[in-house]
Structure 1
């Protein structure tokens, strides 16, 4: 097979010959608008299109600007819309909180996409005690998210596979991820590019070892991560549990409003239409230690928020019709202050899991599933208020931004699907309006937090 250089020269010769033929015919007296010249022009155009678009360049089937989407021609018969089904990528067990795990998973997916490999379904962690390895409780991806649904929604973008799909059990190529200050974004990218070439690319499976994907360098824009998150659909069991919690919240809100005589005539009797505000209160002991250190390192004061500051700013959100029910999403096991329900202004009725009467729903599940239910309840809220330096809050704001964009409000910050960051002071003494910048070239702001938010 000729080299890429030879093929390039051949294409150049085809184009030059076609152009020179047209010029010579015109010089010999053929009119530009004659039938013969028109036919010849069509032949020239056909040759040009064939040379540019159909010439079989070795090693490259698809090229997308500003991306690393790469397709190897030798595996076309084993691909599905450019994702090879005979080459795999394996990553370490994914750890930490729910949304750090989601980012880890998305980063692993995008790494596999760059290598044009199918990602072997990784193991998640049901427990939060990530530092004590012996306490980790591994849980399969398909115990949280729908496996087939993921592949259906992400068809042609990335692909997930089970270990049973490996055709043989040959030793995989082990790729050690670098670490430390000397391991730059550029070095990490060069390492990945080397894995796209032989002899590494010949291995059926590449196994990445050394660190959690959340800590890998980032090479992809926000919109690519958002695409992965769109494909993550909770299994029916967890989604149904979240629906029960949401129904209970709206029921409590409906009961509260029906008792308010001055508002009774203007309120729908259907509890399905009773609005609620979800507040992700990051005041747990582990968070307060982390955010104070982060404020010192980054020289930013808008990270930590006390319970009093959160209550005051939520109370100043304009447009709320009171009485309004609040769902407080907190990590109960790490909460030192049990008074989160007290001190709220008149017209605000806060509920957490136990007061709401849904503790039995949460209590039968490990940490990861509890967090997934909380996430879904916050996602479905009429208004969401969180902390812009929290991964949990940031991914909810991202998904709600996507919903706004889908509704045609790409730069709208209206009350519908609105989000706020209580750690940043906004208008009228309330929290800052919040939309994710979907054009951002990196997920860094979402992974590690930011006080620069779109609204």
Structure 2
């Protein structure tokens, strides 16, 4: 049976979040509503546009005559890893004071092994703005004077006089971004591989306000939002259960547990209470009258295990609903739909070892929403994310 289900952490109070975050959220919302964008560098000075889009048209016109120092990065396989890649890549760009060329996003990325992290520019990739609302992110990061270019806009810039390709894979967590990239500080363009989880805890904590602004600014694109709203209308009031029961997850749990032999850290909570998750839901006081939307990769599951888990929920009085919110979408866009449904549910229950669940828990706590996990233990992602 394993350890007893871990009670959900209490959502942070407004006092704990701090007035600074509240002010930042208010400022970001105001910027988004007014569509005002401002920057203070010499290259972009005297810029007072009527809208964010007009601002960037003028930025590109000026950049065509001036060398702009830029940074680009790739993303890792898997929806949550792509989201983390964006967060960590933007932190690095902020600390280096560089314009960001946003990456192409994977449509069907899946991390099937610890080595299968890196994404390439393949036919299965698509522009950032197909996933997320570009103007919302620009507005959210405007108070930090961040400048973001799309992949196409980056390609339209004058050719770099000098560039550097930086490999992060296999390196230790970066304690100082400026020192790590010092050798390349005079290069016009820096490109790097997937930056997810390569920043030390101290760097992440120091940028906690910025990271929260990034996460708040990663709003779904208008197209994806249409799928989300349609699903919400069908579901009404619902709770969300992220059930990690797929074949690749079971393989991941074996690799995860094997790491204990290397560092002595106990990792025995990866698959706990997956089959009898209804016990955790009962212990945490889930309302049996509220249907439970279950997010999982159904094509990857073992039918016997799923049947056992779902029958246990039904016998306990819960109404499980399998996720079918975006069957026509590619895998990673469908995952974004599920992520947003998890954010908009009454309650969220997930697996703390899963980076998808961990991000939902983190972001729901930012917003004062209920979130918990059924597998016991801790949340590994907390070690490299702002608590």
TM-score, L = length of structure 1: 0.61
Higher relative contact order (CA 8 A, sep 6+): 2
Tell me which residue corresponds to 2:204. 220
**What does the per-residue CA deviation read over 1:373-416, in whole Å, with 9 as the maximum and x for residues that have no partner?**
11111111111001111111111112211111xxxxxxxxxxxx
Distance 2:137 2:176 in 1: 31
Distance 2:120 2:217 in 1: 29
The more displaced of 169-178 and 369-378 is 169-178
Cα gap change, 1:336/1:223 in structure 2, threshold over 3 Å: closer, same or farther?
farther
Tell me which residue corresponds to 2:312. 343
Tell me which residue corresponds to 2:143. 156
Cα gap change, 1:362/1:127 in structure 2, threshold over 3 Å: closer, same or farther?
same
Kept in 2, the 8 Å contact 1:129–1:135? The answer is no
Q: 2:158 aligns with which of 149, 154, 168?
A: 168
Cα gap change, 1:225/1:443 in structure 2, threshold over 3 Å: closer, same or farther?
farther
Kept in 1, the 8 Å contact 2:204–2:384? The answer is no
Cα gap change, 1:284/1:143 in structure 2, threshold over 3 Å: closer, same or farther?
same
Asked if 1:334 is matched to 2:300, the reply is yes
Q: What SS class does the counterpart of residue 234 from structure 1 fall into? A: coil
Q: What SS class does the counterpart of residue 191 from structure 2 fall into? A: strand
Tell me which residue corresponds to 1:138. 125
**What does the per-residue CA deviation read over 1:254-280, in whole Å, with 9 as the maximum and x for residues that have no partner?**
xxxxxxxxxxxxxxxxxxxxx422100
Q: How many residues align?
A: 311
Q: What is the 5 A alignment of 1:269-280?
A: 275-280=237-242
Distance 2:281 2:239 in 1: 9
How many Å apart are 1:292 and its aligned residue?
A: 2.7
Q: What SS class does the counterpart of residue 174 from structure 1 fall into? A: strand
**What does the per-residue CA deviation read over 1:26-60, in whole Å, with 9 as the maximum and x for residues that have no partner?**
xxxxxxxxxxxxxxxxxxxxxxxxxxxxxxxxxxx
Q: What is the 5 A alignment of 1:402-417?
A: 402-404=366-368, 417=369
How many Å apart are 1:305 and its aligned residue?
A: 2.2
Q: 1:314 aligns with which of 281, 284, 288?
A: 281
Tell me which residue corresponds to 1:390. 354
**What does the per-residue CA deviation read over 1:143-180, in whole Å, with 9 as the maximum and x for residues that have no partner?**
01111221112113222113436541234411323543
Cα gap change, 1:160/1:309 in structure 2, threshold over 3 Å: closer, same or farther?
same
Distance 1:241 1:184 in 2: 37
**What does the per-residue CA deviation read over 1:105-137, in whole Å, with 9 as the maximum and x for residues that have no partner?**
111111111111110121111112464969761
Tell me which residue corresponds to 1:185. 174
Kept in 2, the 8 Å contact 1:220–1:443? The answer is no
Q: What SS class does the counterpart of residue 324 from structure 1 fall into? A: coil
Distance 2:234 2:93 in 1: 41
Tell me which residue corresponds to 1:420. 372
Kept in 2, the 8 Å contact 1:394–1:446? The answer is no
Q: What SS class does the counterpart of residue 276 from structure 2 fall into? A: helix
What residue ranges of structure 1 are gaps of 5+ in the alignment? 1-72, 251-274, 354-358, 405-416, 426-431, 437-441, 448-453
Cα gap change, 1:129/1:392 in structure 2, threshold over 3 Å: closer, same or farther?
closer
Kept in 1, the 8 Å contact 2:107–2:330? The answer is yes
Q: What root-mean-square deviation, in Å, do the aligned CA atoms of Structure 1 and Structure 2 show?
A: 3.2
Tell me which residue corresponds to 1:299. 266
